[in-house]
Structure 1
Amino acid sequence: MANFTIAEMVQSNTADRLKISNNPPASVRVHLTETITLLESIRAEWEEYCAEHSLGTPAIRITSGYRSPALNKAVGGVKNSAHVAGYAADLQPVNGKQVEFEKFFATVFSRMGYGFDQIIIEKSKTARWVHVGYKRPEDGKQRHQCFSLKV
């Protein structure tokens, strides 16, 4: 059963509000499909983790997926963002267990042998999320980096 869709990966309240097109070209849709495959693996592993630790629903919300170049600029993203290439998603757990979600990525998922480029545990003054990059846009490499970043 699929938990994620391309529609979820391209949906953006910011794009809607600013009337910015966030419709990806065909080449990026292929990348989104690859990224969704990784997200499905994350969802399956998070489901097991939630069951083992009695954390409730394992549903995951995509807070930012694909960003057109115009949307990326509007939200202050870096020019070479993996989001623009369709190779990244920012995630939050629906169950609200953000600290456990971050711990899951840092101590469990990042060491399971899945291919990924970056897992970045991020927070701003008002929100926390986990950025998952599937491949580096420049060369398609997967660096297997996992670290925390304050925005």
Structure 2
Amino acid sequence: MKYFTVAEFVKSDTADRRAIDNRLPKELLPNVQALVNNVLDPLREAYGKPIRVNSGFRCPALNKAVKGSATSDHMTGRAADITGGSPAENKKLFYMIQELELPFDQLIDEKHFSWVHVSYREGANRNQVLAL
């Protein structure tokens, strides 16, 4: 984990506002590390500029509060919503992940590149590319 921290993955304004304890359980740390080491750090290295995590780990209460999927990889620390700061930069990130052939389970253009969702499952990636 060269460019990202666990603190970034658990930070949530919604959790803060609603007093939701969104600490990462110890047993899920390897999932976050795998996502960062295999996808996010190599992406950041190639991109050459900071990438912000909008939403990383979500405990079940936080996932429910943000109306996340009941099976969201965010709840296991395997997903992050990221941004380069604008839809144009997010589009670059989306395509860079594919061009660099970084491993991913799901890569999602969320709301016309408002952000990019990327997930990683050690040894079980489906390589799904979606737009929501």
Q: Same fold (TM over 0.5)?
A: yes
Alignment correspondent of 1:6: 6
**Does the CA-based 8 Å contact 1:119-1:147 persist in structure 2?**
yes
Report what 2:69 is aligned to.
78
Looking at structure 2, the residues matched to 71 and 110 of structure 1 have their Cα atoms a distance apart, in angstroms, of 30
Deviating 4+ runs (over 4 angstroms): none
8 Å contact kept, 2:84–2:93: no
- What is the alpha-carbon distance in structure 1 between the residues aligned to residue 20 and residue 127 of structure 2? 32
**Are positions 1:134 and 2:116 aligned together?**
no
Q: How large is the Cα RMSD of the aligned pairs?
A: 2.0
Provide the secondary structure at the position in 2 that maps to 1:62: strand
Cα offset, 1:115, TM superposition: 1.3
What is the match of residue 102 of structure 1?
91
The Cα of 1:61 is off from its aligned counterpart by 0.8
* C-alpha distance in structure 1 between counterparts of 2:93 and 2:103, whole Å: 16
TM-score, scaled to structure 2: 0.89
The alpha-carbon deviation at position 104 of structure 1 amounts to 4.2
Structure 2 vs 1, CA of residues 40 and 118 (structure 1 numbering), >3 Å: closer, same or farther? Answer: same
- Unmatched runs of 5 consecutive residues or more in structure 1: 48-57
Query: What secondary structure does 1:40 align onto?
Result: helix
> Hey, what's the Cα distance between the residues in 2 that align with 1:105 and 1:116?
11
Percent of matched pairs sharing the same residue: 40
Q: Distance in 1 between matches of 2:17 and 2:110?
A: 24
SS in 1 for 2:3: coil
Aligned residues: 131
Task: Tell me which residue corresponds to 1:119.
Answer: 107
